Structure 1
Amino acid sequence: MPRTTIPAVAGSRKAGATMACACACSGCHGWTAVPKWAPTVGRCSGAVKVERVKRTSGITPWQWMKHPRVALLLTLMTPSVVQAESAQAPLEAVPMYRQIKDWAVGCDNTRACTAVMAIDDDLMAGLQTIIRREAGPQGALELTLRVGPAFAEQVLLDGQALSANWQRIQLEYDFDLLLEDDEALALIRRLRNGTRLSSLTEDGELVASLQGLSGALLAIDAVQGRVGHADALVKVGDAPAADVPGAPDTVVLPQFIAAPRMSDEQAHEIGRVVKGQANVEGDVPGMSNSHYEVHPLDAANVLVILNVGCSGEFCANYLYRVSRAAPYQISEMAFEVPTPLLAPRLSGHVAFDAQSGQLFATDKSQVERGCGLIQQWRYDGERMRPERVARLDRCGYVKPQFWPVLWRVQE
């Protein structure tokens, strides 16, 4: 850092000599007077060199700061300090999932985020409202209202008609309203100050609570580094949108090659060995009511799924990787877990596709109510790696394709 020279005040006396430092650091701000016996280096946390200056007896540090040349230097230094601190501020860790009042928000490993109105809604009277935004300066933004096939052509914000250039998405059994990018941004900024969004239908009114929306939007801005930028959802600033951090690279998984099939006789032999060993070792309770599935993994190994204590399609599931040849080497199936938020939940329904190498895990009873956790993994030759994870904790009959996504890979 270059040495900073402090302007002297005319009429100063030697007897009143002091030291002063100019700190371009977070440790001290502005000019700091220090005793004349202090060392000339290292008084600021940035190790800025200082020079001995003289002042008139009785002139305080505050008077030094009022000197025109000093004030100008401080004015020039302060923005750079703030900008440097802002530039170094780390983004919030991902993946992230949070419930904020009546809204759920989640962001995946690419910093793409989804916010959804999330309430327990057994009567299905809620207006499902979904906000999605990709990371980066050019990140796409979408606002979706799931108004249903009986929509009566009117959307209200706190009881007042809300006009917008909606795109109408007609599906087989559903009807959605969609806004994108700048139009979505303008309307979302209006919604964040409201309390109630509703749509009129032939069957009555669908209502979305906006309590928690501002917090969910701020979480998205924080994850994507948009706070203080012109395109922020909440805390809009003067920083150009072009300066928003770019999206991280998407994870690429190795291509799965389908393994050779095995005979039914060999599959049953392997399944019986795994079931017998699990029963002997006692690591799986309730073995009396259990069954197994055997699937080829690769040329040397198979996957055995041991289902225990099933009630309908809900089971406790234990997964093993087993060598194809006797004596069978049995080990628990390994999972890559980048963060505890992605830890495998294998209670419920588990299915493996031997052609794609994909393992699916979910609780179907929850999914039917529009909530839960859906995990999709892919075998990479050694372990299962996460491919897609989506989550919604509150049950409001929201379809899984609208849930916050916590992990995704390049397709």
Structure 2
Amino acid sequence: MKPMILAGLVFGTLSTGAAFAQSAAPIKLADIVELSGGGATVGANWKNGIDLAIEEINAKGGILGHRLEVTHADSQSNPGVARAQAQKALDGEPYVLLGPGYSGSVKVTAPLAAEAGIAQIMGGEAAELTRGGNKFLFRTSFGQQSSMPKVAKYIHDEVKATSVAIVWVNNDFGKGGRDVITREFGRLGVKVAADISTEAGQADFAADVAKIKAAAPDAVFIYVNEEESARILKELKRQGVTAPLIGETTLIGQKVVELAGDAANGARGHVGLTTDAPVELVKAFREKFVKKYNYVPDHNGIKGYLAIYMIKATTEKMGKVDPKAFADNLHGLTIKAADQPGILMDVTFDQNGDIDRQGFLVEIVEGKQVVKQVLPKLN
């Protein structure tokens, strides 16, 4: 009888343990994202990348036995709405706050997450976002302070431009990029022949392109949002501007190529993320995304996907689900793609929440991004 009783006790213990593992509380995430308004393209890609990563992780048992759950709230591409949605989300005590994608919305939501002691993983690229000492804010892509010096150096060293026209969108994202690259042009001795401010959602760029033609620069640096990038590329072609057109991710993303058509051909720029990267894990991500959503994602889709794998890697490093310790553990963390394939490329996060990894110089050729040069990690 004793062996039978012992076996019964062991079986009962194992059953209880299994039941506990299965009943582990889910890890709840809250996402504030541009699902409507001018940033809807950004938000749709970001959201789909998040959902794809969560589906993959849950299919393999979750994180430390916990399933992931996410709620998506629409910021309507409006900072005021984003702030209200963030406050509601934080009231629910999420493990991590995700988004927004627009820098202006990040700027007003970040203090709320910091006050709550909750890490925020966002898509904004304005340089100022990670310069204010907020230890809870993390990027999924390069900030302008990292990308703009590379772009300016390329225009000076490779394009050999001595004068440039700058076209930028009049919001936090555009102002930040314009200020950083203008400073870099000054350092390199490149003259700013025209400094042209545009508005978010602007439809007509005829007058702006006329100013560019009048300035006759050696190159044009374009730093506006995706849909506006497509519109100005069409107008530049219509008015016969032949100067090299150079920008950052928002000029040469997949959505821009789709909207601009032939007018996108020849546009060049630096991108931190592209589904055309010559990296096997990135190619695999693209295939999975296209299979699920029936379209090719832009960099925002990759950023959303990476945000979830940042959460996975950090939590597994801690060995526990601890929202208050999360930010401290992500600072200074290097995540190897060999250990976490979902991170796609080796990445390091510094003490400001800024990111360091490979980057790419690309050109649009016959409607596709062609990587011309792979840029290594800075450190």
TM-score, length basis structure 1: 0.19
More relative contact order, 1 or 2 (CA 8 Å, 6+ apart): 2
Q: Which has the higher strand share?
A: 1
TM-score (norm 2): 0.20
